[in-house]
Amino acid sequence: MNPDLKDPLPNATYTVDGKFHYTTDEWGRTVRLQEDRLDLVDKDLRYRSDSAQKRIGHYGDGLGGGYQGGHMAGAEYGGPPEDINVVPMAESVNGNHPGSFYELEKEIVKNPGGHRSIDITIEYDGPPTNADSVTRLGDVNPTDRVPMKFTVRRVDEHGVTRSRPFINR
């Protein structure tokens, strides 16, 4: 695990493996992910951290629970297992349900060429309640790390830009 990706700095942009570009807000929360390309990686090159996913999923406990640590860039594409890429997702968003983020990931696996220039914006319900004392992501209250919404923009195989929102509550 890369400590810089586990506890990212505020107002920073991180490029991982030359294809994932993460932007953080003034509190270190990931607010944007731009993916240049989605190449499936061999299973032995996929990295997951069950402990990180479980820990991050519990950040939603203060909102009534039902959250999981979900990858913004899936492990099948080499998405990193650290906090910069894993956010609390409602089970209805991260689970295997019609219209879910998980379902979109499976669509991408089936047709990676139909999902180019992926740009995901992540929205939160305002600044952290302890914003005055935050100097890095690790200082942010857990419930303030739960996004309200994700919007995925991509270019399909016909060159048409598509946009799909996911409400995370």
Specify the pLDDT at position 36.
Answer: 82
Specify the pLDDT at position 140.
Answer: 96
Specify the pLDDT at position 95.
Answer: 92
Specify the pLDDT at position 25.
Answer: 97
Contact assessment for residue 128 and residue 10, using Cβ atoms and an 8 Å cutoff:
no
Specify the pLDDT at position 151.
Answer: 97
Question: For 96-124, how does the pLDDT look when each residue is reduced to its tens digit (9 = 90+)?
Answer: 999 999 999 888 878 877 777 899 999 99
Specify the pLDDT at position 69.
Answer: 95
The conformation of residue 40, written as its DSSP 8-state character, comes to: -
Residues of the chain with pLDDT under 70: none
Residues 6+ away with beta carbon under 8 Å from 132 = none
Rounded CA-CA distance 105/90 in Å is 16
pTM: 0.92
Specify the pLDDT at position 73.
Answer: 92
Specify the pLDDT at position 22.
Answer: 98
Contact assessment for residue 13 and residue 22, using Cβ atoms and an 8 Å cutoff:
yes
Specify the pLDDT at position 30.
Answer: 98
